[in-house]
Structure 1
């Protein structure tokens, strides 16, 4: 079992004090010169340890673009000066040993900084090993050429171009992996795609840098990002899949004289975009694999079975149909691995069929992807894959979970947890089929742009699914008026700004619309879409929802994530609603009518900073609720908010009336509000933050389904409810433990934490060690002591 213990001191002085406090103690009590000298001998090493602790926090603050306090820099400089002086004094056994030892103690005392910066930087994303990269001669020569150009200080923008599916993304990611920590201190990667979203690009870069934006505007984020990138001496920015000119200034990437250590590596299908749009100084074309390389890759993906006498001729013809495109070779080869001869023959016949005229990419790629799609095991897996193409690059698995459950795609799936397990299984299988790709972590999936194009073409032709992008507005308006669509996704500002008065589409089950701005949805827009099961409106600004929503009697999922919406009393009419997502929205109060949503399984109120009121008995009325997300949001719940002898707000007690509750993400101000809440016994997934200051949450740095961030300002006995949470916890963060030296012994004699994987101790003034009895580590020292306890 993995077990990680981390000690963090944003109040670094306490770590410093604990590290070298023996010096002060000895200085106080030693009475002769020799003892002073012996004490002084340890001074340089201990001062260095103290400096290293402080420098760690300073570096973290700088990575997040924060200003370091002047006295912190002065202290670091003083230590740098003092260490060699002490070494010299010790070697001379100076008669001033007592004076020097006291000087060390004074220097340590001045190192007690209350804080070095304004907040701790979250962990950034690392460049993961590249899956699927092959060192073919045709690719290696290009890679080496790009590596040489990256060393040239006169070149700041480099372009890689080639047809879709040729391997551009794989190549530049391999380059990013090789240069990280060698040619460049940092490497960041962002996917641009056909529909340019500057804020999405900014957020991707920020994730790699461990930067969390406080700014709301695109301009503000650009300024912050620019300043943060300047903190890196040498940084490579990879912008993948550029379709048209991208304004680097608007994104916030400093180049040229502004930051000579910053270089830009671009990929595009179009050479002209790189030369005329992005001013690339060097360009590298990528061609299809030659015959030998293509066959070698095909054999590797299928196995040695293709070398058999009866299979090899057919296999070579199948490989040839893939036309040297890695994306085509991989999807077909994986699907045919360990298959019989008749299946190979059938595959060859289908790959030779005429193709759809709607596909804008390469013929061989579409043919291969279409065949691989048809080869998927079941209709539910196919529909899930098409949903992935609608969600697009670096999509959230959680969105897929909610969509599939609301649409009823999987038979025999009745709970959120069952849906999540099913979706994770399907996503893993789609990755194994080379139709989906890995992303940052298991919370996301990615999809190749060529695969996405092919999938959307299949969706349009065979599944009546329409994704509207930035094309001719009139053409798209005509398409939107057609009545036969089963799913519609609108990402076209021209259409969204001029919606028709009504959308007559009774068979429509899924409607998604994303637009970062003010939108006026006509009152009767949804009047004739009575079969709608999923309504997802993203980042829109409107005062209230259209009245026609009351006609959506069969609606199972409503998502208003990031929407500036105020009046939501109409929710009470949506009696069959199972999933309600209001995350990051501008709601101020939940309407009491929400208590009528007795079929609700999931309620997401994450990051609703303006939410102040949840009326009593609303939460307790949601008797089928399985998952409740309120992280970084409403914190008044446990107070109960009594006004004129009448409770104004919901309380934690209401969660005891939810027999199905299994997932909880919540911020609780006081640990003493948890006692007597037996609902914690049934939680399978939780992220609970306890304390009144949530400027930093160490639990967010790890992918654990059971995380607890606990702030205790006094040494109190913990109740049974809290102990139950601790027993289940995998990721535990302890903060502000006043007067506690031995964590598990002094805090109510905690002994058994059988599932604990990570322990993170922060801002704990006196903690010295932890005692554990049943997880294989009897006693684990937290700090540098003179001897083990």
Structure 2
């Protein structure tokens, strides 16, 4: 009887699962509805003011986890529906299936309840102050004073500043400089002072309302559902912009658009918002209701010559060349784009015969058969295209036209495409090929056919007229390489079957395509770019049947769940990009047939194990993979079987990273731990490896790798990201964007170790980025040896509760952290000081960013000694340090101390209840570069040591109205002056 009772006790939970399936499912739906409602509330709060506010990182993480739960709930609902259908066709239910489903439902309901409970701690603190970019700078040529462009710019600026003018139209023929003058306007310092935000929108010929709404929403950091109607999006945009003073810059308008349909409020005198547009046709200005139309005229003869000479160089002054050069300038028709591009193509050319040929080609009406646009512009610009040194460079230039208009093109991605398609010699090593790509890119940029981005050295862009030229060239049958480009056109249907024929490169990126043709006939297709089609879920089984020549396939950021078996026909494929395909769970066995692949990128997918067939890809040079550590995954799956990696003997770049959505780290981390050692041993056998990202769950694994890897011992590995220990977050969260990782390309993260080992010191001495997470025994960074950290440019310290001081300068003889640019310190329960002691000259001399979060025992930040070392600090952010009393220590500041942090641009102080002073003295400090101050929940801070005269570049103060009204001033006139710069908020965050 006891045995029966025990059996009943053991079975009871399982019987309960089966018996209560329907009730559990109903409860799941109820809990999910509550959670989704909370999510919607949070998103509304976030979207209310995306310009001046940003969501807290904890909220972003919560929203991400809710989205993941949403997907799982949808899957459970589908499975429940299928189970219900099966029950109707059977005499008896499938007990095992019922039990598994019911258990899954109960676990998911518990997970949802926890997320709902977690939401309560966010109420009222969903967002914090942001430091917004009022303007996103645009790349533009430098224009000398006294030119017609400068005069036109000043005329536009005068109209923008005129309260009677609300819409200004700029018009003129293509290539005359409309976009240039608009970019110059966008970048003006005066514009920053006049508006809260400047929004740049490029329209293009076949623009739609949805495209314009998307561009504006992205600038405002607003997110919408795919299913949101144009009217709903317009309503949200309208609400967001109504209370803002904005400048909307609309470039390249071809026809009238209704701003109200888009969601843009009519600019009026009350708020001072403005709209400036460029167009080739004055009639468009009239139809848009502009208050002023300004024509951009061609350059005068002198201006044209000065610009041309600047581009060509001193050779233009040669007696034998100058007459020819002036004839070339005359053929450019005063169009600055043509002058700059043609001049760049003839730079330092000293052969008279080449100049004579240039005159002949430019003056002949038969030099180009490009038609149907502005013939004279294209005829001149095509001359520069033809002047590129060979077909390979010309093809590399044309490839950039596959991106959307006005797109910021990431140069690493572009060069990766070039290499995969064979435009760069495939026999070169990865590094040599990339160097070759940069050299080609430099030649194209030097020819002014691509523009450098002033904001980022890792991006280029293409002038819209130049892009029109490239697309016109590649649309002709006789061009030798036909393109079909419909990038970012918001199309929902793919090209028709007949359009796929005879195309060499096709770009359909950034659209709303949800389906693809079943079996397109495109045997000549070399590149197919389908990334960022969020609605694309499935690929027809026979889709790749006729794509034998395909070399580059990008399906990144789509919702595909699998690849069709017809992928086996891509026998010439060299680059397969599947980044962030969040629904992709497996790679088919047919992947092993693609033996020509050199680049395979499957990061941020749902793939939890690599098929053994990957080992057959013996030409693979780049492998990037990440594994999601999910609660519902099969615990028995082996992520990477032993031996697979060692078969890939040509690998030069390997990235294996992991992500977690589960707080139960141990169970899921151990899964990687079981195979990490064998994979690490395989990696040690790779003799060509130059770049490696890897998580070593144990320090001894790192030690074995350092001892066993020839590329490491020989210094061949020049780029690495090593994570060592039991890290509980995503191993990708420390990785910056692609462009930042180019600089931070030697990264070490140590997690939770009690002691400092020789292996970690060896890696640290080669690193430029260091993260210390949860270290339990380290009292100061100095224990790692300052000489081992001299190459660091970024340092992140979190949760190291034994640490009392970050940097101890006592008795140092050499400069400490001389190259460090960023220092992030967070969740340090016992930290009493950031720095102590006297530091040698050169210490911390490059520090630009300092951010402190949740350092509860910190009393002050800067002493007089250290603050003089931080002459390059640009950003200071201090948040949630509950005992912080001072920013600058009062007792160590003398009367002569006046100029402080000369390059500081952004100062943000948030949730500092004990803060009483930035500097306790009554003198005003000089802040020669300070642009923005944000103060939030610092109720005991009673004085601001700034004035208009001591902070001449200050343009904004973000603070609470009550706090501002209670500030103490020696001179009330200073308050009146500074109040003009204030963005005052009520306690709730509203204006």
Pairs within 5 Å for 1:520-539: 521-539=539-557
Alpha carbons of 1:295 and 1:250: their partners in 2 closer, same or farther (altered >3 Å)? same
Describe the shift of the 1:668–1:550 C-alpha distance in structure 2 as closer, same or farther (beyond 3 A).
same
2:302 to 283, 292, 316: 292
| TM superposition shift of 1:329 | 0.6
Residue number among 627, 634, 645 corresponding to 2:653 in the alignment:
627
Give the structure 1 partner of residue 717 of structure 2: 683
> How far apart in 2 are the matches of 1:608 and 1:231?
42
Distance 1:410 1:696, change over 3 A: closer
Q: Deviations over 1:388-431 (max 9, x none)?
A: 22235322212222222222223375222222111111111211
Alignment partner, residue 472 of structure 2: 457
Once structures 1 and 2 are overlaid, which stretch shifts more, 472-481 or 612-621?
472-481
Partner of 1:284, secondary structure, is strand
Deviations 1:498-530 (A, max 9, x none): 63634142x433233454423664433332332
Q: 2:944 maps to what in 1?
A: none
Of the three residues 153, 174, 180, the one matched with 1:170 is 180
CA-CA distance at 1:246 after TM superposition: 6.5
Q: CA deviation at 1:601?
A: 1.4
Once the two structures are superposed, the pairs formed by residues 15-26 of structure 1 within 5 Å of their partners are none
Conserved? CA contact 2:172–2:281, under 8 Å: yes
Who is 2:620 aligned against?
600
Secondary structure of 2:597's counterpart equals coil
Aligned to 1:434: 448
Q: Deviations over 1:139-187 (max 9, x none)?
A: 2332122212322456555443333222222212211222354323554
CA distance in 2, matches of 1:288, 1:632: 56
8 Å CA contact 2:748, 2:767 repeated in 1: no
Higher relative contact order, chain-length normalized (CA < 8 Å, sep 6+): 1
Name the structure 2 match of 1:50: none
Equivalent residue number for residue 437 of structure 2: 423
Counterparts of 1:134 and 1:513, CA distance in 2: 42
- Alpha-carbon distance in 1 for matches of 2:57, 2:580: 33
Query: What displacement does 1:592 show?
Result: 3.5
Instruction: Measure how far apart 1:699 and its partner are.
Output: 5.0
Residue 462 of structure 2 corresponds to residue 447 of structure 1: yes
**Is the counterpart of residue 302 in structure 1 residue 280 in structure 2?**
no
Contact 1:321/1:364 (8 A) holds in 2: no
Q: 2:716 matched to 1:716? A: no
Cα distance in 1 for residues equivalent to 2:629 and 2:276: 38
Give the equivalent residue in structure 2 for 1:313. 323
Indicate if the aligned counterparts of 2:606 and 2:627 stay in contact, CA closer than 8 A: no
Alignment of 1:683-762 (within 5 A): 683-687=717-721, 691-693=727-729, 697=734, 700=737, 702=740, 704-707=742-745, 716-734=754-772, 742-743=780-781, 745-746=782-783, 748-759=784-795
* CA apart distance, 1:328: 0.8
Q: Deviations over 1:676-723 (max 9, x none)?
A: 332566531235567434697485594643356666675733334432
Question: What 5-or-longer segments of structure 2 have no aligned partner?
Answer: 1-48, 59-121, 819-838, 845-849, 851-860, 868-991
> In the superposition, relative to structure 1, how do residues 698 and 479 fare at CA in structure 2: closer, same or farther (>3 Å)?
closer
3-state secondary structure, aligned to 1:182: helix
CA contact (8 A) 2:562 2:584 kept: yes
Aligned residue among 41, 54, 64 for 1:65 = 54
Mean CA deviation greater in 637-646 or 338-347 = 637-646
Q: Deviations over 1:274-321 (max 9, x none)?
A: 554x66554433232233322332233223443444333322221121
Contact 2:52-2:132 at 8 Å conserved across structures: no
Residue in 1 that maps onto 2:87: none
Aligned to 1:346: 357
Query: Structure 1: 5+ residue runs without aligned partners?
Result: 1-59, 70-112
Post-superposition offset of 1:490: 4.1
User: What is the correspondence of 1:19-418 to structure 2 with a 5 Å cutoff?
Assistant: 63-66=52-55, 127=137, 130-135=140-145, 137-153=147-163, 157-178=167-188, 179-184=190-195, 186-194=197-205, 196=207, 234-243=245-254, 256=267, 260=271, 262-271=273-282, 276=287, 280-339=290-349, 340-351=351-362, 352-392=364-404, 393-411=407-425, 413-418=427-432
Q: Is the 8 A contact 1:544 1:565 kept in 2?
A: yes
Please point out which of 679, 684, 687 is paired with 1:659. Answer: 687
Kindly indicate whether the alpha-carbon contact (under 8 Å) linking 2:750 and 2:771 is maintained by their aligned counterparts in 1: no
RMSD: 4.9
- How far apart, in 1, do the equivalents of 2:753 and 2:394 lie? 55
Cα distance change of structure 1 residues 787 and 537 upon mapping to structure 2, 3 Å threshold: closer
The answer as to whether partners of 1:616 and 1:649 remain within 8 angstroms in 2 is: no
- The answer on 1:480 being equivalent to 2:516 is no
Relative to the length of structure 2, the TM-score reads: 0.59
Assess if the C-alpha contact under 8 Å between 1:667 and 1:689 holds in 2.
yes
Task: Please give the alpha-carbon distance, in whole angstroms, between the structure 1 residues aligned to 2:130 and 2:700.
Answer: 29
Deviation at 1:227? Answer: 11
Distance in structure 1 (CA, Å) of the matches to 2:235 and 2:641: 41
Change (3 A) 1:587 1:706: same
Preserved CA contact (<8 Å) 1:355 1:363:
no
Distance 1:736 1:773 in 2: 29
Deviations 1:320-356 (A, max 9, x none): 2111111111111122233221111011112224254
What is the alpha-carbon distance in structure 1 between the residues aligned to residue 770 and residue 235 of structure 2?
31
Q: Secondary structure at the match of 1:366?
A: helix
CA distance, structure 2, for counterparts of residue 231 and residue 716 of structure 1:
55
d(CA) in 2 for partners of 1:767, 1:250: 57
> How has the CA–CA distance of structure 1 residues 645 and 758 changed in structure 2, closer, same or farther, with 3 Å as cutoff?
closer
Q: Distance in 2 between matches of 1:631 and 1:227?
A: 42
Deviation at 1:646, TM superposition (A): 7.4
Aligned partners of 2:668 and 2:208: how far apart in 1? Answer: 42
Evaluate the alpha carbon distance shift between residue 255 and residue 583 of structure 1 in structure 2; reply closer, same or farther with a 3 A threshold. Answer: farther
1:548: which partner in 2?
566
| Cα gap change, 1:562 to 1:736, in 2 (>3 Å) | closer
Alpha-carbon distance change, 647 to 375 in structure 1, aligned in 2, over 3 angstroms: closer
Note closer, same or farther for the CA distance 1:480–1:750 as it changes in structure 2 (3 Å cut). Answer: same
CA separation in 2, counterparts of 1:423 and 1:494?
32
Structure 1, 564-573 or 122-131: larger mean CA deviation: 122-131
Cα shift at 1:272: 5.2
Partner in structure 2 of residue 83 of structure 1: none
1:436 CA displacement: 0.8
Q: Cα distance, 1:66 vs. partner?
A: 3.7
Shift of 1:362: 2.5
Partner of 2:862: 784
TM-score by length of 1: 0.72
Deviates more, 1:519-528 or 1:603-612: 603-612
Q: How many residues align?
A: 679
- Secondary structure at the residue paired with 1:65? strand
CA spacing shift, 1:671–1:273, aligned 2, 3 Å? farther
Aligned residue for 1:16?
none
- Provide the rounded CA distance (Å) in 2 between the counterparts of 1:661 and 1:447: 34
Partner of 2:23: none
Contact kept, 8 Å, 1:157 with 1:263, in 2: the verdict is yes
**Alpha-carbon distance in structure 1 between the residues aligned to 2:247 and 2:160:** 9
Cα shift at 1:585: 4.5
**Structure 2 residue 630 is the aligned partner of structure 1 residue 616:** no
In the TM superposition, residue 641 of structure 1 has moved relative to its aligned partner by 5.8
1:121 Cα deviation (Å)? 6.4
CA distance in 2, matches of 1:181, 1:436: 27
Return the alpha-carbon distance in structure 1 between the equivalents of residues 248 and 554 of structure 2: 33
2 CA distance for matches of 1:648 and 1:149?
A: 65
TM-fit CA distance, 1:623:
3.2
1:251-271 CA-to-partner distances (Å, cap 9, x unmatched) read 886775899365444334355
